[in-house]
A and B are shown apart, each in its own frame.
Chain A
């Protein structure tokens, strides 16, 4: 079974703190993703990575950075947390899939981290 784990289910941090959210996958997937989810706004992509040390900005990268030093681990960093970064953060991974679109190659998600910044 594919497993994507996130370091915390719930996290409370203070404004201005540096926050690290960790994500680990055990399926040797090339792609890893960080999303935030807010009510009424669906899933918004923050950053994704398609290889070690490679990253691309998603739709809302401002205020965030990422790190991928090893293939299985993708970290999201809030350099200076602000209250508007209070949200649910979801990590996902997928394989690229040479045969796509004939073949699913779905994204597998972690359980999510609910971050509150006070």
Chain B
């Protein structure tokens, strides 16, 4: 079954430290893309970073990087130098070639950054 799993319902990190949010995916489709979104308490979903299945290098976007391990089917989000404003829900999602308009979503991880 095509599925996204985020095993950490909640995470805590100290300000200025790095944190890794886990995401594993399940698909047999060779063509897919993986997204991470952030949802602050205000409710709006903010796109953070994307990794395509054919991309050779791990995606990076400022303090965000994606640790993409294709053989393990994992696409973990790494946030470096955490800031108080990083406190939010984080969602991993997958887009497949077979139905490439929709996204398959994980249930999210709640991140709290402590001062």
User: CB within 8 Å of B: which residues of A?
Assistant: 31, 33, 40-43, 45, 48, 50, 58, 88, 90, 92, 94, 96, 100-104, 106-112, 114
Contacts and interface: CB of A to CB of B under 8 A. Distances in A.
Nearest to A104: B50
B54 to A, nearest CB: 6
Contacts of A94: 101
Q: Identify whether the interface residues of B are mostly helix, strand, loop, or mixed.
A: loop
A101 B54 contact: yes
Given A42-B107, A43-B91, A48-B101, A111 B44 contact: yes
A107 B106 contact: no
Contact of B47 (A41, A58, A107): A107
Interface residues of B, number: 27
B33 A92 contact: no
B44 A101 contact: no
A43 B108 CA distance: 9
Given A112-B43, A112-B44, A50 B105 contact: no
A43 to B, nearest CB: 5
| In the A-B complex, the 8 residue pairs with the closest CB atoms | A101-B52, A109-B45, A112-B43, A42-B107, A104-B50, A106-B47, A101-B33, A43-B105
A96 B55 CA distance: 19
B56 to A, nearest CB: 11
